[in-house]
Structure 1
Amino acid sequence: MSANSFSTLPQHIAIIMDGNGRWAQKRHMPRTVGHAKGAAGVKALVESCAEKGIKYLTLFAFSTENWKRPADEVSTLMGLFVQYLEKEMGALAAAGVRLKVIGDVAGFPAELQTRIHAAEVATQNNQAITLTVAANYGGQWDVVQAVKNWQAANPSADVASLTQDQLAQHLSTVGMPDVDLLIRTGGEQRISNFLLWQAAYAELYFTDVLWPDFDQAQVDHALHWYAQRTRRFGLINEQIARI
C-alpha cells in the first residue's frame, strides 16, 4: 500500500517487538525459534516503511533487562544480530537504509561491536530511511548518559542551567525527530523503559498480535489508526485549528 493511501503518516515509528517466545511456545517449539522468525520479518518491514515515505524506524531489539533471560536465549539474540548484519545489511544499504545502533554496545562481544561499527559507517550517507536498533538500551540509561555527556561538554556549567533542548542534544537519538507512533505487539500495554524522553508525545498503539505475525496488513492497520488520531501536544482543539 502506498503512502497516498494514508491521510497522515508518522515521521518516526518505534516498535517494541514483543511475543517471539510465546509465538514459538504456542507451536511447541523453543523460544529461540520465535526470535529467529521475528528477525526474519524485519527486512520487509524496513523496506515497506521506506516505500511509504516514513523516514525513521526504531526497533527495540535488546533491553538492558534482557540480560536476565536464560543464557541460551541471550546467545541466540546476539547471534541473530550478527547474522542480520551479515546477511541483510548489504541489501538494505543498497535500498538507501542508514543503520544506527543506540544503547550500551560496549557490553556486547567484540565481534558484534566491530560489525555494528562497520555497518554504521558503510550506511552513514544513506537517506531513504534511518533504521535505528536499540540494543542493550534503556530509556533511563539514555537520560542519565545524556546528563553525563552534557556535563562533560560543559565542565564549568552549573546543572541548574541545563535546559530540555540542551539535554536533547546529548541523547542517543540526537538529530532524529521524536517518536510519533510507538507500537507494541504481543498484548502488553506498557513501554518498558523504551525511548522514555523521545516518546513523550507519541501515540501508543498496542496490539495482541505476536511479533512474528505482525505482517504488512498489521502495519497498515496501525497506520490507519494513527491517521485518525488528533495530536494536541498539550493544546486544545481550538488552538490546533488556528495553527
Structure 2
Amino acid sequence: MNAKDQSSDLAGEAADKRGPLPEHIAIIMDGNGRWAQARGMPRIEGHRRGVDTVRMVSETCTELGIGALTLYCLSSENWKRPQEELDFLMELLQQYLVEERPLIMKQNLRLQVIGRRDRLPEKVIAEIDETIRVSADNTGTKLVLAIDYGGRDELTRAAKLLCEDVQAGKLSIDQISEQSINDRLYTSRLPDVDLMIRTGGELRVSNFLLWQLSYAELWVTETCWPEFSRIEFERAMESFQNRDRRFGGLSVGQ
C-alpha cells in the first residue's frame, strides 16, 4: 500500500467533524543538507531529493483544492552559503522550471515567484517568466516560490513604495493603513497564510512571510524535507482543522 492509499480522507466524510482546510499553506523546506550529510552524501544531493517532495506536496494541494501553496526556496540570507552549493541550487531551480512545466500545466497550477530578481542568473529569470506565462490562465492552486526572499526586505520595500506615493501626492499619511501596506507586498493578491509548516525541527520562522504569518497556525516536524511524506503533510492539515482559531477573540460559548 502506498502513501497515497494510506493517507487520511481530509476532503471526505472523515473531515465532516473538523474545520475547513487551510486556504493558504506556507512551507519552510528545511533539512535538505543535514539529511544528505547524515547519509554520507554531499549537501546538494539533499536538495536534489527535495524536488520529489515539492512534487508530492503540490500534487496533494491540487487534489484537495488548496488555494495557495508558498514554498521557501531561497532566502536572502542563503547567499552566505558556499558558492558551489549556490550554483547547484540555481541549476536545480532552472531544471525544475523546465522539467516540471508539463506537470504544472497538467495539475492546473499557477506559478508565482516572490522575492528579488536582480541577483538571480538571467537564465533562471527566463525560465521563471516562461513558466509564469504559460500557467497564467490556469485556475488551480497558486504555486508560489519564494526565491531570494526575506520578510524584512519585503516590508522595507513596501515602506519605500508608500513613501514614494506620499511624496508624489498619491497618498496622504492618514491614508496609510494595514491594507495599504498589504497592497504593496509581493503577496498582495494572496490571502494571509493559514498554516505554516516547517520541516527539519527548527523552531523559528527565519524571516519568512513576517506580515503574512501574523495569525498563521504553526506546525513543525523533525522530519527533514527529503523524507517529508504525504501522510505527514496531511497530518499537519488535520491538526490545523482541529484547532480553535480565535484571532484574538473568544471561542463560541466562552
| Alignment partner, residue 11 of structure 2 | 3
Q: Give the conservation status (yes or no) of the 8 Å contact 1:43–1:92.
A: no
Are 1:39 and 2:51 counterparts?
yes
Residues 31-51 of structure 1 deviation map (CA, whole Å, 9 limit, x = unaligned): 000010012221121011110
Distance 2:162 2:134 in 1: 28
Farther-moved stretch of structure 1 (143-152 vs 10-19)? 143-152
Are 1:174 and 2:182 counterparts?
no
Residues 126-162 of structure 1 deviation map (CA, whole Å, 9 limit, x = unaligned): 1110000000000111111112223334422444541
Distance 1:149 1:124 in 2: 26
| Alignment partner, residue 14 of structure 1 | 26
| Alignment partner, residue 162 of structure 1 | 176
Aligned residue type for 2:163: Q
Q: Give the conservation status (yes or no) of the 8 Å contact 1:2–1:51.
A: no
Q: Give the conservation status (yes or no) of the 8 Å contact 1:187–1:206.
A: yes
Are 1:127 and 2:139 counterparts?
yes
Residues 6-64 of structure 1 deviation map (CA, whole Å, 9 limit, x = unaligned): 33200000000000001001100000000100122211210111101111000000000
Unpaired runs of at least 5, structure 1: none
Are 1:24 and 2:36 counterparts?
yes
Q: How many residues align?
A: 240
Matches within 5 A, 1:54-65: 54-65=66-77
Farther-moved stretch of structure 1 (13-22 vs 112-121)? 112-121
Relative to its length, the structure with more helix (as a share) is 1
CA drift at 1:76: 1.2
| Alignment partner, residue 231 of structure 2 | 217
Distance 2:229 2:75 in 1: 23
Task: Give structure 1 regions of 4+ aligned residues with deviation exceeding 6 angstroms.
Answer: none
| Alignment partner, residue 86 of structure 2 | 74
Pick one of 199, 202, 217 that aligns with 1:203.
Answer: 217
Partner SS for 1:134: strand
Q: Percent identity?
A: 41
What TM-score, normalized by structure 2, do the two folds share? 0.90
Pick one of 65, 79, 84 that aligns with 1:53.
Answer: 65
Partner SS for 1:41: helix
Farther-moved stretch of structure 1 (6-15 vs 182-191)? 6-15
Partner SS for 1:106: coil
Partner SS for 2:77: helix
Are 1:185 and 2:222 counterparts?
no
| Alignment partner, residue 3 of structure 2 | none
Unpaired runs of at least 5, structure 2: 1-8
Aligned residue type for 1:77: L
Distance 2:52 2:118 in 1: 25
Q: Give the conservation status (yes or no) of the 8 Å contact 1:55–1:130.
A: yes
Kindly report the root-mean-square deviation, in angstroms, between the aligned alpha carbons of the 2 structures.
1.5
Are 1:96 and 2:104 counterparts?
no
Are 1:114 and 2:114 counterparts?
no
Partner SS for 2:138: coil
Q: Give the conservation status (yes or no) of the 8 Å contact 1:106–1:113.
A: no
Q: Give the conservation status (yes or no) of the 8 Å contact 2:109–2:138.
A: yes
Distance 2:60 2:43 in 1: 27
